[in-house]
Amino acid sequence: MQSTTNYMVKNLTQKKIASYTSRLLEGYNSIMAYDDNILSFRFSAYGTLVLFNIMDSYYDNKPITSEDISNGIDYKFGSRNSILNLIKKAEKNKLITRTTSKLDKRQKYITPTKTLINSHEKMIGFILNFENKS
């Protein structure tokens, strides 16, 4: 009896996860497919990690530098050079700004622009709304 119950729970959980994953993937692709700000980070695993590091530091109100980001991402996801180039590209595309530290003029802190914040919040809002419907 115990193994039958475990199988049923496992099977229901797998079905729920499969349904959730399918709907999340469909929605994520449709909503993000039209947001160039998010797409500029989403093309690779390291790009997504760069985005999440920038936004995490913003919401935690902690300063973060390019070096902090590149050192915090495992080399398996992307090279240091690739990560730094993506950050430069994000700055060029006006998705982030760099501010010189008042204490150490060598440090340049990364801050997302309002454009990137809005795009990120739209994505997070979609995910939270999606989870509430599950």
Q: Are residues 12 and 30 in the same domain?
A: yes
Domain that holds residue 51: 36-133
Are 51 and 20 contained in the same domain? Answer: no
* 64, 116: one domain: yes
Indicate if 42 and 26 belong to the same structural domain: no
Q: How far is CA 96 from CA 15, 51, 66, in A?
A: 40, 10, 11
| pLDDT tens for the chain, residues 1 to 134 | 555 555 555 566 777 777 767 766 776 666 665 677 777 887 788 898 999 999 999 999 999 999 999 999 998 888 999 999 999 999 999 999 999 999 999 999 999 999 999 988 888 887 777 656 65
Quick one: 47 and 87 in the same domain?
Answer: yes
Q: Are residues 23 and 43 in the same domain?
A: no
Whether 62 and 28 map to the same domain: the answer is no
pTM as predicted: 0.76
**Is residue 100 within a helix (H) or strand (E), and if so which, with residue range?**
strand 96-100
Q: Could you identify the residue written with the tokens 């994505």?
A: 123
pLDDT in the model for residue 27? 66
Residue 37 CB partners (closer than 8 Å, separation 6+):
93, 95, 115, 116, 119
